[in-house]
């Protein structure tokens, strides 16, 4: 199969769809791989590295799309890229369509087959291609939040871990999935006072068994959320519904009752966000203030750590990319049933029920 790796163009997105190591494996399997010049530089992968692995370098994204059938990316397809998409393409990337009707309709119109990393879900409910980025984003949320709690960056001016004789900062984490647990781990490591909120009692039991008195666990309901949010110095939203729009758990009213200089980090912003006041920001302009509360809502958070994030993502995505390229999508789905769940759009129809329901569109099964 002919495979293409374009350069990411989202603001300050330095990750790349495949490193030279992954490209080398795809070529060893007998595929042709076209890589746009400069695609991997931000992640520490030079053009020479790709050439050494056997890749064919091309100048533009348009050439990548012209030559390749399978397009491997990291970020959702930007407007400038969508004009290159043809019906024969298989798009393999994060898509986050449930909160983006415009992109969804354009992809439907293109006739391409669109596979979303975030909806490849195993039978046990885990999301192997989202997990590595959730781990990065969860840890990063605490680092970012701690930075913006500095007075000179707009925060109230506290150290999350406190010092002897001084009260510790309060970190509230909504959602105890992979990103939430990563954030909790980082916050506990800093010595903060941590509150974890989730609707899954088993996850709360796990946190209680793991951290004991270091983490307070609360069941997710409006009263518990409101009280915890009001007390938070750093509020982190990590709630995820695979393929669906993130529920808004925190209203403007709750946020208005937070202390001035508190910080919100919305890890779930790509799927709509956990907070009513959330709106997507970029690494270039990452924050804004509502009611005196600083909001950090960068849609591609792991893009700030492209070397770590790219390698971690490739470790998860390469297996499925090889299967699609070596045996075709239908047979690959027979070997990996979770890959079938990843197909969001096919033959001009939405084939992921949660995306269809979130956007009010018709749903049709894949039909394999």
Question: For 140-160, how does the pLDDT look when each residue is reduced to its tens digit (9 = 90+)?
Answer: 999 999 999 999 999 999 999
140-165: b (≥16 Cβ within 10 Å) or e: bbbebbbebbeeeebbbebebbeeee
Distance of alpha carbon 79 from alpha carbon 84, whole angstroms? 10
264 forms beta bridges with 235, 295
Query: Tokens 């506990």 map to which residue?
Result: 188
The b/e string for 53-66 (b: 16+ C-beta within 10 A; e otherwise) is: bebbbbeebebbbe
Q: Report, as an integer, the average pLDDT of 130-144.
A: 96
pLDDT band at 204 (very low <50, low <70, confident <90, very high): very high
User: Is 47 an annotated catalytic residue?
Assistant: no
Residues 6+ apart with CB under 8 A from 122: 128, 338
Nearest to 207 by CA among 230, 238, 177: 177
For 15-43, what is the mean pLDDT? 98
109 pLDDT above the threshold of 90: yes
Res 5 pLDDT > 80: yes
Q: Which of 100, 233, 270, 295 is catalytic?
A: 270
Catalytic residue of the set 89, 96, 100, 233: 96
- The per-residue pLDDT for 158 is 96
What rounded mean pLDDT belongs to the chain?
96
Q: What is the pTM of this model?
A: 0.89
* 88 classed as catalytic: no
Residues 278 and 262: their CA atoms lie apart, in Å, by 15
Report pLDDT for 368: 76
Confidence of residue 293 (pLDDT cuts 50, 70, 90): very high
Q: Which two tokens stand for residue 36?
A: 């746009």
Distance separating alpha carbons of residues 96 and 240, to the nearest angstrom: 11
Answer for the pair 93, 317: CB distance below 8 angstroms, yes or no.
no
Q: What is the pLDDT of residue 240?
A: 85
Q: Can you give the pLDDT at residue 367? A: 81
What's the start-to-end Cα distance of the chain, in Å? 20
Burial class from Cβ neighbours inside 10 Å (0-12, 13-18, 19+) for residue 104 reads buried
* pLDDT in the model for residue 31: 98
Contact 233/259 with Cβ under 8 angstroms? yes
* Cα gap 42→27, rounded to integer Å: 23
């Amino acid at each position: 199969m002919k495979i293409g790796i374009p350069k990411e163009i989202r603001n300050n997105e330095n990750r790349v769809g495949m490193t030279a190591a992954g490209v080398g494996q795809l070529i060893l399997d007998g595929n042709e791989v076209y890589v746009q010049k400069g695609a991997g530089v931000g992640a520490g992968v030079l053009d020479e590295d790709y050439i050494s692995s056997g890749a064919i370098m091309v100048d533009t994204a348009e050439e990548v799309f012209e030559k390749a059938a399978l397009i491997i990316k990291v970020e959702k397809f930007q407007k400038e890229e969508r004009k290159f998409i043809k019906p024969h393409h298989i798009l393999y990337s994060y898509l986050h369509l449930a909160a983006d009707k415009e992109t969804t309709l354009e992809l439907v119109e293109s006739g391409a087959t669109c596979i979303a990393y975030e909806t490849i879900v195993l039978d046990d409910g885990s999301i192997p291609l989202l997990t590595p980025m959730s781990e990065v984003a969860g840890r990063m949320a605490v680092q970012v939040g701690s930075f913006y709690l500095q007075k000179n960056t707009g925060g109230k001016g506290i150290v999350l871990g406190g010092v002897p004789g001084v009260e510790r900062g309060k970190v509230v984490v909504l959602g105890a999935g992979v990103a939430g647990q990563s954030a909790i781990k980082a916050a506990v490591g800093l010595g903060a006072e941590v509150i974890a909120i989730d609707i899954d009692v088993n996850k709360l039991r796990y946190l209680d068994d793991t951290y004991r008195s270091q983490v307070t666990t609360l069941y997710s309901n409006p009263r518990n959320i409101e009280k915890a949010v009001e007390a938070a110095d750093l509020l982190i939203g990590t709630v995820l519904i695979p393929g669906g729009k993130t529920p808004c758990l925190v209203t403007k009213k709750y946020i208005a009752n937070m202390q001035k200089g508190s910080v919100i980090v919305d890890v779930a912003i790509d799927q709509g966000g956990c907070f009513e006041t959330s709106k997507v920001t970029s690494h270039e302009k990452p924050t804004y203030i509502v009611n005196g509360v600083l909001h950090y809502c960068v849609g591609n958070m792991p893009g700030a750590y492209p070397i770590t994030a790219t390698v971690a993502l490739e470790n998860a995505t390469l297996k499925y990319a090889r299967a699609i390229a070596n045996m075709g999508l239908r047979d690959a789905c027979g070997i990996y049933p979770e890959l079938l769940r990843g197909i969001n759009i096919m033959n001009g129809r939405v084939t992921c029920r949660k995306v269809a329901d979130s956007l009010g569109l018709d749903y049709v099964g894949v039909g394999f």
